Structure 1
Amino acid sequence: MESKVSEGGLNVTLTIRLLMHGKKGETVKKMREESGARINISEGNCPERIVTITGPTDAIFKAFAMIAYKFEEDIINSMSNSPATSKPPVTLRLVVPASQCGSLIGKGGSKIKEIRESTGAQVQVAGDMLPNSTERAVTISGTPDAIIQCVKQICVVMLESPPKGATIPYRPKPASTPVIFAGGQAYTIQGQYAIPHPDQLTKLHQLAMQQTPFPPLGQTNPAFPGLDASPPASTHELTIPNDLIGCIIGRQGTKINEIRQMSGAQIKIANATEGSSERQITITGTPANISLAQYLINARKVEEQVSRSQPQLKKLPAQRLAVQYKGQKQD
């Protein structure tokens, strides 16, 4: 987020990220000239698109007003072909750095409650970060006017509490269908079901053609043995000296969260035990997840030890370490 604060308080340059589905993003292109904001739409064959709106706050508010009214227009048009009588609210999803979400929620939820009550909009902050990022989704729903007022208040919070540390932006994944191999056959995942891969139809192709779904993954089915897409999770434990645990965790957990995001592993750090000079770390995930998490933790530990002996050494972010690790694995 860029900000150039002037005496006017809100006469600043701000960047807001918005998550959209489908081709709604195409409409946004027409809004650039009218709002005066810079509006960029992420490329790629993804069901979700990131719309980045940058500019002075008044231009951002104009852009959001146009988006909200356009969404309402789409809802009204879709209702003309529907028996529904009550008009659903307009819903937008912002993408906000997790380090700013605490300020948005406020102590004991006070800030988010104040925003809900003063604007009439519903605001929900996701508990989990979006995949492979340090950002969370903030869902706003209500009338277009309520949404505009809500966005204004969120902008004020974001300006008053800039993001802390490095932000790993959320990038939507392309709409590719995963393929798994089980029992010597190939299957594609559709929702929570597995069906035979169209390129490798087997003796089960009759069922696939009839669109008979397989049982949800993870449940056993005697008729189709070996159909289980989730690799078994394993656990690995390691110990870290107490005086180095801080560099692994980072300020407000930023470093350990970065390692979790980069490795895809679950990482738990045991509380300090009296009389012990070490802390136990438990890593759970696939062997690949665990290996990468171990590498990142050990690299952070070695880096801290070296930086203490050579203070001028710059610390490497987990993303860079992960790239190095993958390069080593290829070698």
Structure 2
Amino acid sequence: MEPIKVQSEGGLNVTLTIRLLMHGKEVGSIIGKKGETVKKMREESTARINISEGNCPERIVTITGPTDAIFKAFAMIAYKFEEDIVNSMSNSQATSKPPVTLRLVVPASQCGSLIGKGGSKIKEMRESTGAQVQVAGDMLPNSTERAVTISGAPDAIIQCVKQICVVMLESPPKGATIPYRPKPASAPVIFSGAPTYTIQGQYAIPHPDLTKLHQLAMQQTPFTSLGQTTPAFPGVDASSQASTHELTIPNDLIGCIIGRQGTKINEIRQMSGAQIKIANAMEGSSERQITITGTPANISLAQYLINARFRDVAAMWTDPSTMTTS
């Protein structure tokens, strides 16, 4: 295939569809009151922006149009997320602005081209745009797609998306793609003795009273943090100084973080760039301590990947046919 000809401002004279994976709160921000925000994005970018239906913790946002229109839509989304971050910091003591994060959903057959030989392409994208780019090692459940996470300042994210579009156009997907479809919201319970844990969104949380499920449905409570030197939620301090974050996780759930022969924890270490240590089980204790060390960006990504493992466990719990040996 001939290389795609890039026009001025990085525009491409083609039509493209890009899929984004967003959480409910992010989708609400994009839609806005009475749909005003997404209406404005559609009008100003001229791109088609569709949001998947359903009561799901995750939603797919599909952006279709000429690539210049897609880049405008991405810019508006990235700046809207930055605005949300600034607003959320108004009650915080944090002084540095955290990065904006977007998750693309990309056919697995194209991910090799995004990474490049020996990681050369993804390294080039990181260095030339200043954005952090991570390609998930595993496919999303019941699909042949992977998540590609982009973090950074809005301008860096936009430049990175442009480069990703070029790669995707030069290396179209091979074979049929099974698209990722988020599962409907549910609150599966893992019975692990006392206490019982329920999966909510990305997190597994203590669940002492089954009658309160509906109250928990809107919560996003992380595991208990000990001696925390970075905030519990990703990106509240975007400085590059190394720091440490500690989590406690029930013994019964530690296996899905470690994986068979340590495959999952090693994957999380590699993708996040953080050092992750799991303390040995203490006699008489029902919990294990996880220590994450690295820059706040590394720690945030490690936390996200750890929590994503529990989301995957929840999917397996609700649909045993999806269960694979981890």
CA distance change for structure 1 residues 288 and 134 in 2, over 3 Å: closer, same or farther?
Answer: farther
Q: Which moved more, 1:240-249 or 1:206-215?
A: 240-249
* Structure 2 spans left out of the alignment, 5+ residues: 24-31, 310-325
Contact 1:183 1:226 in 2 (8 A): no
Q: 1:122-145: CA deviations, max 9, x gaps?
A: 100000011111000000011111
3-state SS, counterpart of residue 182 of structure 1 = coil
Q: Which moved more, 1:78-87 or 1:239-248?
A: 239-248
CA distance change for structure 1 residues 141 and 191 in 2, over 3 Å: closer, same or farther?
Answer: closer
3-state SS, counterpart of residue 298 of structure 1 = helix
Find the partner of 1:8 among 7, 10, 14.
10
Percent pairwise identity: 94
Contact 1:131 1:261 in 2 (8 A): no
Contact 2:234 2:301 in 1 (8 A): no
Q: Does 1:180 align with 2:182?
A: no
Aligned residues: 299
Q: Does 1:148 align with 2:150?
A: no
Q: Which moved more, 1:182-191 or 1:39-48?
A: 182-191
CA distance change for structure 1 residues 231 and 196 in 2, over 3 Å: closer, same or farther?
Answer: farther
CA distance change for structure 1 residues 26 and 267 in 2, over 3 Å: closer, same or farther?
Answer: same
The residue that corresponds to 1:195 in the other structure is: 205
Contact 1:217 1:228 in 2 (8 A): no
Provide the C-alpha distance between the structure 2 equivalents of 1:277 and 1:211, rounded to a whole number of angstroms: 22
Deviation at 1:177, TM superposition (A): 1.1
Provide the C-alpha distance between the structure 2 equivalents of 1:256 and 1:268, rounded to a whole number of angstroms: 9
Contact 1:192 1:216 in 2 (8 A): no
CA distance change for structure 1 residues 282 and 28 in 2, over 3 Å: closer, same or farther?
Answer: closer
Contact 2:21 2:60 in 1 (8 A): yes
Contact 1:268 1:283 in 2 (8 A): yes
The residue that corresponds to 2:70 in the other structure is: 60
Q: Which moved more, 1:209-218 or 1:66-75?
A: 209-218
CA distance change for structure 1 residues 24 and 56 in 2, over 3 Å: closer, same or farther?
Answer: farther
TM-score by length of 1: 0.54
Q: 1:19-66: CA deviations, max 9, x gaps?
A: 111999984343111100010000000111100000000000000011
3-state SS, counterpart of residue 91 of structure 2 = coil
* Structure 1 spans left out of the alignment, 5+ residues: 301-330
Contact 1:25 1:51 in 2 (8 A): no
Q: Does 1:124 align with 2:134?
A: yes
Find the partner of 2:270 among 261, 274, 288.
261
3-state SS, counterpart of residue 10 of structure 2 = coil
Deviation at 1:10, TM superposition (A): 1.7
Deviation at 1:174, TM superposition (A): 1.4
Contact 1:196 1:202 in 2 (8 A): no
Provide the C-alpha distance between the structure 2 equivalents of 1:225 and 1:58, rounded to a whole number of angstroms: 30
Larger Rg: 1
TM-score by length of 2: 0.55
The residue that corresponds to 2:91 in the other structure is: 81
Contact 2:200 2:220 in 1 (8 A): no
Contact 2:113 2:167 in 1 (8 A): yes
CA distance change for structure 1 residues 41 and 186 in 2, over 3 Å: closer, same or farther?
Answer: same
Superposed CA RMSD: 14.3
Provide the C-alpha distance between the structure 2 equivalents of 1:102 and 1:27, rounded to a whole number of angstroms: 35
Contact 1:165 1:254 in 2 (8 A): no
Contact 2:53 2:59 in 1 (8 A): yes
Deviation at 1:8, TM superposition (A): 11
Provide the C-alpha distance between the structure 2 equivalents of 1:294 and 1:255, rounded to a whole number of angstroms: 13
CA distance change for structure 1 residues 131 and 120 in 2, over 3 Å: closer, same or farther?
Answer: same
Deviation at 1:284, TM superposition (A): 34
